[in-house]
Chain A
Amino acid sequence: GAVVSQHPSRVICKSGTSVKIECRSLDFQATTMFWYRQFPKKSLMLMATSNEGSKATYEQGVEKDKFLINHASLTLSTLTVTSAHPEDSSFYICSARDRTANPSTDTQYFGPGTRLTVL
């Protein structure tokens, strides 16, 4: 199946700094990429949807100025957590949809996630 990578897999940072997480689709072009946040023993919460070349669409309650999303190419999306605080510590997962697939039948492929710890 299709592969989605994330980098870094783990990051520890000090409060107030910014952290960038990269998400790449390795063997397909992704028209749409999604960013999720997963809390311990909880489901995945969709943060935002990004389409290549356009602004991301954020879910209600997600601060777009804090979680900056850039979808610069069909294979790369980045999530930047700005001025991170301990409450931003979480597991962030990206997902990508294959551009060539039928929109009504295609599948999302998930990255391995990035564990962010803010001290």
Chain B
Amino acid sequence: AQSVSQHNHHVILSEAASLELGCNYSYGGTVNLFWYVQYPGQHLQLLLKYFSGDPLVKGIKGFEAEFIKSKFSFNLRKPSVQWSDTAEYFCAVRSNFGNEKLTFGTGTRLTIIP
């Protein structure tokens, strides 16, 4: 069975700081990887996804993530955060076999201080 670990439970940064949120997964086969964001009071939104090809994927709002297969990692990055990035961030993995379910990490709460 697949699993996802997000080691940072709560991250507090000042505006303009650089961000990196860790995500590690365990699964023996090929996977699809996702980062979702949940702004306060809002539904989950897709930030970016990796299926194949270039391991550095760019998403919305200036976010990017790098898939490092040897490390089973898919860390999320943003060079300069804004107050509006305050939200909960979830990493998720899905087996690359059609209708397999998404497995979510426990989430990282990001608080940006103006």
Contact = CB atoms under 8 A, between A and B. Distances in A.
Contact of A104 (B36, B98, B103): B98
A108 B94 CA distance: 11
17 contacts: A34-B101, A43-B107, A44-B90, A44-B104, A46-B101, A49-B101, A95-B44, A95-B102, A103-B98, A104-B32, A104-B51, A104-B96, A104-B98, A105-B32, A110-B44, A110-B45, A112-B43
Interface in A100-114: 103-105, 107-113
Interface of B: 32, 34, 36, 42-46, 49, 51, 90, 96-99, 101-107, 109
Nearest to A104: B96
Contacts of A93: 43-44
Interface in A25-72: 32, 34, 41-44, 46, 49
B99 to A, nearest CB: 6
A83 B104 CA distance: 29
Nearest to B96: A104
A53 B46 CA distance: 28
A107 B90 CA distance: 15
Contacts of A110: 36, 43-45
Contacts of A46: 101-103
A40 B28 CA distance: 31
Nearest to B34: A107
B104 A43 contact: yes
